Structure 1
């Protein structure tokens, strides 16, 4: 996914031009969704294996918070690199004139983390149970 965005730049991936009638290329939004989706599983695995938090509710709150922290840090790094390189920040960041780009990126990471927990937690629990009874 990153290689496609790196080849075209995130604002110019052909498949996403004008998708769903949008004036901007939303390829980067897919990446930000998965920026929450994938780390949620990793964080969940670590928190369960290390027995850091008991209870599904608080574990989920912490997992979502970890994903949002990761997303916020990524947005800060993007900003710092744009400032440090003196590049056209809008082109580098892929904001395409969208004033709420950073907030929507983080919103999609939040949505990705929540979707990951809702869709994959039961599957993950079954895998962990199999491993527990195996060992």
Structure 2
């Protein structure tokens, strides 16, 4: 029983194995002195489950190391945000420590925007893996695979926002508000979806230029 997962692990390119191990290490570091321990399992649990399934998934549906790297970068951004449940990522403190100025003042915002960055990255970084999957395993042409990827990013964003809405209905008190990261913005879901589509659109332009 143990030999099969080991065999699947060994079939992965070494670069992909290293990315998986680095992501696991990042999750471990993100949970040292965890500031929101009650929400940490909800934030990190799905990522750990995906990592555990990755050797089987990549053996069943192989992807290039470039595509896997895009997914890896997105999950690293998520892991960083998950430590502070997104709404409290202290990027202004980091910026002041480095430059003496904070990012929020530069852009004239009061809202923590890290979650918006990750939604944008969802579109920008996952368009290539989805397109590659559609081309390799769905038999689509390059053009149609990019179209499919753009549409899939929109669907994925919408399904995630619906999940957050359902969580708000089922979860009690502050738990749902903390997890959702709405920060009082009634248009938060629409802006998140728009950020993902903008990211995907820019990725499409870049991929078409590289292809051309």
Provide TM-score, normalisation by structure 2.
Answer: 0.52
Q: How does 1:21-100 map to 2 (within 5 A)?
A: 21-50=108-137, 52-54=139-141, 56=143, 58-88=144-174, 89-100=176-187
Q: Which runs of 5+ in 2 are unaligned?
A: 1-76, 93-102
1:2 to 54, 78, 84: 78
CA RMSD of aligned residues (A): 2.3
Match of 2:16 in 1: none
1:69-93 residue CA offsets vs partner (Å, 9 max, x unmatched): 1111111222222322214233321
Match of 2:206 in 1: 119
Q: Which has the larger radius of gyration?
A: 2
Equivalences, count: 124
Q: Which runs of 5+ in 1 are unaligned?
A: 127-135
Q: How does 1:94-109 map to 2 (within 5 A)?
A: 94-109=181-196
Alpha carbons 1:90, 1:97 under 8 Å: kept: no
| Change in CA separation of 1:12 and 1:48 when aligned onto 2, cut-off 3 Å | same
Distance 1:13 1:55 in 2: 38
